[in-house]
Amino acid sequence: MSMAPGSLSPTSQLDPGAPAISRSADRGPSITDARSAGLLAQFALAADRGWLTVLLSFFAVKQILLVFLLGPFSGHDEVDHYWYIQRLAQGHGLGEVGVVELPPEASGYARYVADYPLNSEVIQPPLYHGMLALVSHLLPSDTQHELYLLRLLSVLGGIVVVWLAYALARTIFPADPVVRIGVPVFVALQPQLAFEAAIVNHDIVIIGLATAGCLVAVRCVRDGLTWQRALTMGMIGTAGLWTKMTFGLVLPVFALAIAITVWPELWSVLQRRGRGIAALVRRAAPATMLALVLPLVLVSPWFIRNYRLYGDPTGATRLQEVSDYALSAMTLPEMLGSPGFWRGRLDDFWGNYGWREIPWDTSLALPVYLVWAVAGLGIVALVVREVAFLSSARVQPVFDAFQRRALALVATLGAMMIVAILYVGLLQFTQSRFAFPAMAGFGMFTVLGFAAWVPARWRWVVLIGLATALIVLNAVVLVRFVIPYYVGPGGGEFVVPPR
């Protein structure tokens, strides 16, 4: 960190040089605190430019390698997404689920299609596919080469996601280099996020939009709610909903950010038994309209289209009718009470490549889960300490008020994404990638969880150890499982498109 010593107070006690934070901080960041955090974040960016450039460059290179190492169309739903893009590029319109079939040239990849010969992905709102359809006109007509070039756009999306993860960490913990470095490193080296950022799929766009939305929400809490920030949240929400309907679960994060920013006035109104409510509504209503209502209004044509075609706004009913997806559905108690369900979600989160045909060996997976659990226990310890601080004057907090509120937003995004996993599980087979829009948050809580167990002066050593371990993990997984799947007579298939 390159800030001049003594010029600004760091805001985090994870930083060993930070001063103790008074209990009055709990009432909210003062203007000075917020400005300090903003200025610190600017200083941090200047200090971090070197390693961040190296990290983003490394991410780009290893992702391009992954683009070529993953067999064509073996990403999840990649066949459907690719030919949805082609369909739009050729001017054949949006199509209807249960009616639109894949073209004959997709037959070689039938094993990688959930419901062959139907293209189930035409259920998705068309923003991602429409944009790539425009790009598709500029690309070579050879299917394999075009696929690789479209995958490279996902790599670009991944670079943006890593940068946004850094920006989020820098905004919340500007004075703590361990968190600023640890969060983007975790996101860049998370094996399944790397998989998402190397295949043709709209998930990487959703991950980027959700991370950007969370960042704007955190800045609202830090710097205040403005028209521009509310409009930015609204535009992000609109783009997200036009890319994937589950983005609706990000909107509660925006709502919480607005609620936090108007909380002093709201508390005052409640104490005065409703007096002043009109002023509060005048202040909060425009932002609420822009951030929450505007996206729903702008995406309403898609809802209406779905309702007219399928009888419900999302089209989920039709999807269940035309496929056997519903056979894999579970009830909420079944999911919550099943160790096998959670083992499956851990497997999804860390390592299920290539149409779920390339799992890790359990002997590798279990140690990774155990190490990650240490971070989970660290988070529990931090929460207990923060709760103790709020109820006792004798306990020193770890975070200041702004950080607590920002972490509440990040945690809310994570919780909503876990809701997404469970919601999809009620309808069909579910997967952990539905929670990946909160990947920066998972990275942040992982770093904070590990940091909770280690004395401040040794945290940097632990972080370097974890980063090295993640790099080795990625390499070992590629060499032991992924590449062998695509190579040789005993493997899966590296099916080359016909020319």
Partner 1 sequence: MRPPDRKGSFSAGTIGLVVTLAVSLLLIAGALLVPLSVRNGAPFGNQQTVDFERGIAVLGAEITPNYDGMDRLGLDLRAYSDAVPGDQYDFIVSIRDIDADRIVRSVAISVDVAQIPASKPPFHDVLTDVRFDPIPDSAGVAYYVDVERGPRNADDVVALWGVQAYSSLTAADVMEDAIASYDLGYPSRTTALLLVVLTLLSITGAGAVIGTTTAALVDARWRDVDRAG
Residues that bind partner 1 (CB under 8 A): 1-2, 4-6, 15-17, 47-48, 50-51, 54-55, 57-58, 61-62, 64-65, 68-69, 142, 144-145, 148, 177-178, 181, 185, 339-340, 342-343, 356-359, 361-363, 366, 369, 457, 460, 463-464, 467-468, 471-472, 475-476, 479-481, 483-492, 494, 496, 499
User: Angle formed by the axes of helices 143-172 and 31-69, to 10°?
Assistant: 160
Place of tokens 């039938």: 110
**HSE-up of 378 (CA within 13 Å, CB side)?**
19
At its nearest, how many Å lie between partner 1 and the CB of residue 483?
A: 5
Sign of CA dihedral 453, 458, 460, 465: negative
CA dist 203 to 52, 304, 408, 423, Å? 24, 23, 24, 17
Q: Distance between CA 267 and CA 433 in Å, rounded?
A: 38
Comparing CB distances to partner 1, the nearer of 373 and 390 is 373
At its nearest, how many Å lie between partner 1 and the CB of residue 183?
A: 12
Comparing CB distances to partner 1, the nearer of 63 and 412 is 63
Q: Distance between CA 343 and CA 317 in Å, rounded?
A: 28
Residue 353 pairs in a beta bridge with 358
Comparing CB distances to partner 1, the nearer of 363 and 392 is 363
Comparing CB distances to partner 1, the nearer of 128 and 186 is 186
- Name the token pair of 81: 């997404």
Comparing CB distances to partner 1, the nearer of 3 and 266 is 3
Comparing CB distances to partner 1, the nearer of 366 and 384 is 366
At its nearest, how many Å lie between partner 1 and the CB of residue 150?
A: 14
At its nearest, how many Å lie between partner 1 and the CB of residue 121?
A: 23
Contact, 445 vs 412, CB < 8 A? no
At its nearest, how many Å lie between partner 1 and the CB of residue 105?
A: 15
Sign of CA dihedral 301, 302, 303, 305: positive
At its nearest, how many Å lie between partner 1 and the CB of residue 481?
A: 6
Comparing CB distances to partner 1, the nearer of 56 and 256 is 56
Q: Distance between CA 319 and CA 150 in Å, rounded?
A: 26
Place of tokens 């094996």: 191
At its nearest, how many Å lie between partner 1 and the CB of residue 167?
A: 17
Most distant CA pair in the chain, distance: 76
